[in-house]
Structure 1
Amino acid sequence: MERKVNLGLMQMRCQEDNQANFDRAILHIKEAAGNGAQIICTQELFKSPYFCQVENPDHFDLAEVIDEKNPTIKKLSELASDLKIVLIASLFEKRAPGIYHNTTAVLDADGSFLGKYRKMHIPDDPHYYEKYYFTPGDLGYKVFDTKFGKIGVLICWDQWFPEAARLLGLQGVEIIFIPTAIGFSRAEEGTT
């Protein structure tokens, strides 16, 4: 059966004020839903500027526990329910003392928290010091059965490893979302 699903993909400039970023993201999500988006995906680590270009222990303060009790998840869950949208939100997760992940939370159109995906492939290149911050994911590649279809999530560098998409495909995924925070880096200008 053929069906149409409208997608909203969010990419915004972030400032140092995480609450202002979150509030602006809420406005963008509402705007996308108002324009007909049924599934909306934020950019990677949408509540802050991409902080992995430097190794700074202060950035660990940005991490939060990702579960139904978390205030961010509660707010996003209410938003998904009110707007009747599926929402994919990329966040910095604190799993346990000293264990952090680059994680997406998946919320269904009724606001239910379907689960999360933790980024598996963690780069450590000049200007991308993610191994300083993130532990590789341990939840596997999941397909989430949402109101609007079976979706999978990878995060940024995961896309360069085709087996990830293949494993999602074997599970019947219909749409794969890949939130990312980066594109072209000015630091790489003139390099090959």
Structure 2
Amino acid sequence: MSRIVTVAAAQLGAIQKDDSRQAVVRRMIDLMDEAKRQGADLVVYPELALTTFFPRWYHEDRAEADHWFEREMPNAATGSLFARAREHGMAMSFGFAEITPEGRHFNTSILVERDGTITGRYRKVHLPGHDEHDPERTHQHLEKRYFEPGDLGFPAWRMLGGVVGMCICNDRRWPETWRVLGLQGVELVVLGFNTPSVNSQKGAEGLEKRMFHHKLSLQAGAYQNSTWVVAVAKAGTEDGHHLMGGTCIVSPDGEIVAEIAHEDDGIVVHPCDLDATIFGKETIFDFKRHRRIEHYGPITAQAGVITPK
């Protein structure tokens, strides 16, 4: 019998600097209601779903950015979202800026069960950008200033009758992300992203190539680990800064099976048969039979490149 999880990728359009958490949550609830009407079991929202992409602004005192962070989850602003998910019996995943009781700062995503309990937490490992103001860039990308690298690794969880993992935005570009999840038998990976449409260090790259690299990363990760991938954008122009779309669902064969072509709030729903992951996992990507870990030492022994002498 097939194990079908009907997933809604819930894209958010632009969130402006002055938009309140409550206004954003109202938009998220509207998308959840539509996902329910279309029979979704799981709704996936973007990275930093509750706020604008604030790492584009430099604060000399980084604590001035703390008002973008959540100190608990759920909280007063998001309680209604959790309540609606419980009412619908729908699981969900979304990203937010987290500040821990110890004062540590992370770019975080959570998995929430149908009853509203948080079953999984992931903190972004591969932080892009820089940590000091860079006048040579067309715009700032200061994730390294406002966040610490995630400290939880790449865990996976039993959920919705399968094995579910998370990653966030830039993580999708790193094959190590996918393989660590793949080695846990992951069958569905959910991820949100906020990706500028312009490369701050290579403005001539163009949106078409940036979208190509985005989809290439998702499709390769899905195929090489035989897993479904649900990637959800925050898109549109936030306070004069454009974020590209590219929300899509990718099959374990690496094929894009559903996508959103616009940059506004919206959903795309697809039935993901988790049993479709089995063939790849038992044949070409049967890790137990085919991996040769005796040759992979440099992957964890070194960070930078060491060229041949």
Identity over aligned residues, as a percent?
A: 30
| Counterpart-to-counterpart distance in 2, 1:175 and 1:66 | 26
Aligned to 1:49: 52
Whether 1:6 and 2:6 are equivalent positions in the alignment is yes
Whichever residue aligns with residue 170 of structure 1, its letter is: L
SS state at 1:154 partner: strand
Inter-partner Cα distance in structure 1 for 2:178 and 2:203:
32
Give 5+ residue unaligned stretches, structure 2: 131-136, 206-309
Does the 8 A contact of 1:107 with 1:114 survive in 2? yes
Q: Is the 8 A contact 2:125 2:151 kept in 1?
A: yes
Q: Deviations over 1:75-99 (max 9, x none)?
A: 4432222111110010110014542
- Residue 22 of structure 1 corresponds to 25
Deviation at 1:65, TM superposition (A): 2.2
From 106, 112, 117, the counterpart of 1:112: 117
| Number of aligned residue pairs | 191
Alpha carbons of structure 1 residues 183 and 5: separation in structure 2 relative to 1, 3 Å: farther
**Equivalent residue of 2:5, what SS?**
coil
Alignment of 1:144-163 (within 5 A): 144-163=157-176
- Residue 71 of structure 1 aligns to which amino acid in structure 2? A
Q: How does 1:24-173 map to 2 (within 5 A)?
A: 24-56=27-59, 57=62, 58-67=64-73, 70-72=75-77, 74-96=79-101, 98-125=103-130, 126=137, 127-173=140-186
Q: 1:77 is aligned with what amino acid? A: F
Unpaired runs of 5+ residues, structure 1, are: none
Q: What is the DSSP-based 3-state SS (H/G/I as helix, E as strand, rest coil) of the residue aligned with 2:82?
A: helix
Q: Which residue of 2 aligns with 1:176?
A: 189
What is the Cα deviation at residue 148 of structure 1?
Answer: 4.6
Given the superposition, is the C-alpha separation of residues 72 and 164 from structure 1 closer, same or farther in structure 2, using an over 3 Å criterion? farther
Residue pair 1:66, 1:105 contacting (<8 A) in 2 also: no
In 2, Cα distance between equivalents of 1:30 and 1:166:
34
Gap change, CA 1:90 and 1:83, over 3 Å in 2: same
Q: What's the C-alpha RMSD, in Å, of the aligned pairs?
A: 2.2
Which of 1 and 2 has greater Rg? Answer: 2
Structure 2 residue identity aligned to 1:172: G
CA deviations on 1:142-177 (whole Å, 9 max, x unpaired) are: 112122532111000011111111111111211111
Work out whether residues 77 and 113 of structure 1, in 8 Å CA contact, stay in contact via their aligned partners in 2.
Answer: no
